[in-house]
Amino acid sequence: MNPSLWKSLRVGSRKNELSPTAKEGGLESSTDGNSQRTPQVSTAPANIVDIETLGKDASQDQLAVLQSSIPRSITPVLKDQYTLYPLHTSSNANSVPCEGHYAIDFVAVHGIDGGSHKTWTHGNGYYWLQDSIPNDFPGARVYSFGYPAEVLFTRGKSDISDFASALLEEVKATRSTKEDQRRPLIFICHSMGGIVVKQAMNISVFEKDRFGTIREAVFAIMFFGTPHRGSDYAKFFTNLARVVNVPLMSTSRFTGKTRVDLIKSLNRHSKTLSENSKQFRLQTNNFKIHSFLEQDSTPPLNEKVVDDMSACLGVEKETLHPMLGCDHRTLCRFSGRDDLHYKRVFNVLQEIATEATTKFEAELTAEDEPCLHSLSFQTMTSRLQETTLSAPHPKSCTWILTHPSFHSWTKSNENRLLCIKGHPGTGKSTLMSFLHHHHLIHAPADTIILSFFFHGNGSSLQKSELGMFRSLLHQLYKQSFHARKQILAFYQQRVKESGVCGNDWEWQAPELREVFTSILTSQSSIEAGVRSTKEVLIFIDALDEAVAGGGSKAAKELLDYFNDLLEKGRVRGIKICTSNRHYPVISPLLAKILVINVEGENRHDIAAFVSHSLYHGVESWASEDEEEKRELEEALVSKAASVFLWAKLRVEKVVKGLNDGVFGVRDVSAMVKRMRSLVKRSGMGR
């Protein structure tokens, strides 16, 4: 007999009796759920025929040798467990993961003749599901599903649908709470394991009441060498199995027989696979699919076990990953975290996990609605919207992006406060709206951006500290998963103690201030990551228009509060930008405050606005004398004296007068001085 073939069959004499634990299905390396391995339950060799390694060129003589060489009383050593085994559930498995962690569940499913441990374990013992995933994806839970997929010497009768149903039941039992059921699921499947997972998804469609939450939670499926269209070698293995079964029917030396039916279901173009994929393709728009393709033959075969055509599902959302240097086995076995093949798989996992966690954290549930409703009010964003719509010119305000104080504020490694000051009408609100919009577009995706625009002529909530904190917490609730849980817990406690919000009680500014401060400064929040990975930008406009409960000005108190908030911050990450008139006076002792005075900085914006408005507004502008046009523009800009509002009102009147023929360009310059008093009499500010 060919020595290499004999070696590949791995058939040998049993030297050690199995312990009771092993007979029941012990693992090669079991875990306690916290990534701590326990000793191997048995040291007996793997006395099984590994059919994946048997070439189709094997002769009948070699098969005869195989039959005659199988030892008496052979029983395979059981190293893998038939269950959804927890490899890592974190120290607080049922709690909400910290921000910056991954709120996901990984479930690995092995293939034919594989196991929950051996399929994923390298020859050096590295079990990447347990040794890499928990470290690379903190907060994630990792499971490996084992089922009786042996094909030799087995009494098993279960088919793919049975395995799929068992998988669904195990996952359902593990994810029993509402919070668990919301966690995104990522399946990692090898070979026939992918067929099992596809069948599980098919079953979940028809048994929606029982398994609907599982199907809805599936975010991605990763197929490693899954034979969607079958394998040519399955036919050869079927014939082999029939030969091996011959002595089993005539003697009691063997325990169980070969699963011809299970192997046959993986034949090229089998009806089982065709029906499996046909139903599954109808669901593929619901999740991401990544298929990893073996590129090497699996010894001693001369070809791939699963060729590229069969390994591709062939749907729109599928991403293919040819794995150079990997055969059917090594496709999902890695030597360590530095293994180049693991790094490639890790990159895909990270992309999927990040997107899944982001979606999970952003998703609001019915439980969130009452709390959000209690914080919101109808005019919460009215002032911001008005200011955004009234921007005088598309290129206005860009000067601030190069201002030294703004640059220091954005680049500082410390918590800083930037105060934009200016007289009424100088465009402070427009500038704040610009900065808010600029950061929404250009800030890193994980930046928390909050804003409130006080409105002195608005409703009581639009100009009060209570309205500000309700708005800020409403925004924070939607942007920070960790903050959401804190705010919700506080709200639910108030409901429990006092009844229905709006009927039995109302939010008060002091309690909301305390909640807001706690979220941004408490040690527990920092440890949970609410600020360790996310920068918090807060834009507060028209601070001087804020009023306290008794109607007195609240600007000085709020400025002190914001400065104190920055001082309490134990790590960098909070940056606050306020705008106000030249009140309140900023103490020189407040070293964290940077100041920008708008007067003198916005002349270029006013000039651009005047030129743009006259050019596009005056019908005869192109034919007017160039010198007279220049003098008019300069006169308007000069007389505006950094007051954008004056320039806006004056230009509107000039454009109307010129178009109506009330006066000509020559007449306007003389009128400019008189029009300056219009703004003063109107009493308009900002």
- Report the b/e string of 81-112 with b at 16+ CB within 10 A: bbbbbbbbbbeeeeebbbbbbbbbbbbbbbbb
Q: Tell me, what amino acid is at 549?
A: G
- Looking at residue 164, its pLDDT comes to 95
Distance CA 326, CA 295 (A): 6
For 358-395, what is each residue's pLDDT tens digit?
888 888 888 899 999 999 999 999 998 888 766 666 66
| Residue 8: both structure tokens together | 């590949």
- Pick out the chain residues at pLDDT < 70: 1-80, 90-100, 152-154, 156, 233-258, 389-395, 523-533, 569-572, 585-592, 669-686
Contact 281, 252 (CB under 8 A): no
Q: Please state which CATH class domain 369-597 belongs to.
A: alpha beta
Handedness of CA 577, 458, 554, 498 (dihedral sign): negative
Reading the block at residue 174, the tokens are: 């593990």
Q: What kind of fold does domain 3-362 have according to CATH?
A: Rossmann fold (3.40.50)
Give the pLDDT of residue 100: 55
Position 535 scores a pLDDT of: 87
Structure tokens at 434: 């610009």
> What are residue 219's phi and psi, to 5 degrees?
-100, -35
- Residues 204-239 have pLDDT tens digits of 999 999 999 999 999 999 999 999 988 876 655 554
- The tens digit of pLDDT for each residue in 310-344 reads 899 988 889 999 999 999 999 999 999 999 999 99
Residue in the block written with tokens 């089982």: 272
Task: State the pTM of this model.
Answer: 0.63
Q: Are 130 and 238 in contact (CB under 8 A)?
A: no
79: its two tokens: 């190293």
Q: Is 405 helix (H, G, I), strand (E, B) or coil?
A: helix
- Quote helix, strand, coil % in the chain, to nearest 5: 50, 15, 40
CB 231 within 8 A of CB 262: no
List the beta bridge partners of residue 541: 453
- The DSSP secondary-structure symbol of 118 reads G
- Pairwise CA distance, residues 352 & 186, whole Å: 8
Q: Cα(95)–Cα(575) distance, rounded to whole angstroms? A: 30
CA distances 629 to 614, 648, 669, Å, are: 9, 17, 10
Question: pLDDT value at position 575?
Answer: 93
**596-623 tens-digit pLDDT:** 999 878 788 888 888 888 888 888 888 8
